[in-house]
Amino acid sequence: MAHFLVIGAGIGGLTTALALRQAGHEAAVYEAAPKLREMGAGLVLGANTMQALQRLGLAEAVASLGEPLHGLTIFDEAGRVLLDVNAAPFAARQFGQLTNIALRHAALQHFLLRQLRAGTVHTGKQFTHFTLDPAGVTAHFADGSTATADALVAADGLHSRVRRQLLPEARPRYAGYTCWRAVVDASGLNLPRTGRFQETWGRAGRFGYVPVGEGLVYWFGTLNSPQPQQPDLACYTTADLRRLFAGYHAPVADLLHLTPEARLLWHDIVDLPPLRRYAHGRVLLLGDAAHATTPNLGQGAGQAVEDAVVLGQCVTNGAAPEAAFREFERRRRHRTHRIVSRSWRVGQVAQWQHPALIAARNALLRLTPRFVTDWQTQFIYRTRF
């Protein structure tokens, strides 16, 4: 049995601790926040992610936390359908009962936390750096404390401190657009339960929404902005967003109207240019720390969950952590790189603003044959555990 330190208690870190425990190892999680933050966002978990969760025995319980989702419909500003992707047949063929799920990020995170033994997650532990010695790895925390184990898994997200120590030159890359999100109580709107993620691609930007259960709806809106971290955008209110998306078809204005300012989340969209290595001796990068992606395929958290399951498999049969980490890298690098680059390209096209480009894109979307959308779906669902 090996002992692992896991840095970060996001979806990636918590699932990793579970997978390591199920593989017969000890795992302790160290999280900087004083308590798990209630991230007021929604998530889509693809059927591939649900299959990964099934390997951990969690798929059914996670499915009950959200709403089933069978596809994606893209509209123009006026509400005309540009593309309708039906993912259900693939999911059924490949994964049987499993389907995509839309749920609240916080619901998933708290559920995962409850699956771990009390005392596994140590909050208020801001990792600063690690040191190596022949016996293992020691993590150092901002409060002066340390923890030592056989190996360390970095699940500390996009701005990973662990990655900064290993690869200081690897920096997040700004995608050229910014995003507001919220989860709101939309039970009063009586939105039809279409089982679809609905996105509108218009001149101002993209607006998408999906029900996440219990009358709640998760929405996002994007806007092109040449520079990241624009102070004027940081001050945007829902009234500004209503002006931005004025003229978009229903229920865009209603969802914005229902959103309390305190619920509004704002993030520039960034990813991590593909890394050559995830395994660094006794230290492994995983989840967003290794391969943060733009959200256009809805696969960031999903890939972190896939990582955790594969890592659990790599550490079985008494493999030393260094060898298990190398095996993890061999199995995960290609798939995660493909997701990151495909998602980046989808985002660039979806954010086109020039009227001629929009017209050409929309015409193409309307004509997209079924086999092309099927192929895209297959690519995301093609996982091997």
Chain contacts with ligand FAD (rule: CB under 6 A): 7-13, 30-33, 43-44, 125-127, 155-158, 161, 179, 181, 220, 267, 287-288, 295, 298-302, 304
Own/partner pairs, 74-77, CB within 8 angstroms, 24+ separation: 74/199, 74/200, 74/201, 74/365, 75/198, 75/199, 75/200, 75/201, 75/249, 76/200, 76/201, 76/202, 76/362, 77/200, 77/202, 77/203, 77/247, 77/248, 77/249
Say how far residue 208 (Cα) sits from the centre of its chain: 16
Residue whose token pair is 């991230």: 39
Task: Compare residues 155 and 264 and give the one whose CB is closer to ligand FAD.
Answer: 155
Closer residue to ligand FAD, CB minimum distance, 347 or 362: 347
Per DSSP, 347 falls in state H
Shortest distance, position 291 Cβ to ligand FAD, whole Å: 9
Give me the least distance between CB of 56 and ligand FAD, in Å please.
15
Nearest approach, Cβ of 355 to ligand FAD (angstroms)?
A: 26
In sign, the C-alpha dihedral spanning 163, 165, 167, 170 is positive
The least CB distance from residue 219 to ligand FAD, in Å, is 11
Task: Name the strand (E) or helix (H) holding 137.
Answer: strand 136-141
Q: Which token pair is 237? A: 């209110």
Q: Report the nearest approach of ligand FAD to the CB of residue 95 (Å).
A: 16
> Among 257, 230, 96, which residue's Cα sits nearest to residue 174?
230
Place of tokens 């999903």: 302
Please state, as a whole number, how many other Cβ atoms lie within 10 Å of the Cβ of residue 77: 18
**Given CA atoms 365, 368, 373, 375 in this order, what sign does their dihedral have?**
negative
CB of 288 to ligand FAD, least distance (A): 4
Identity of the residue, 83 or 175, whose beta carbon is nearer to ligand FAD in the bound complex: 175
Which is closer to ligand FAD, CB of 206 or CB of 362? 206
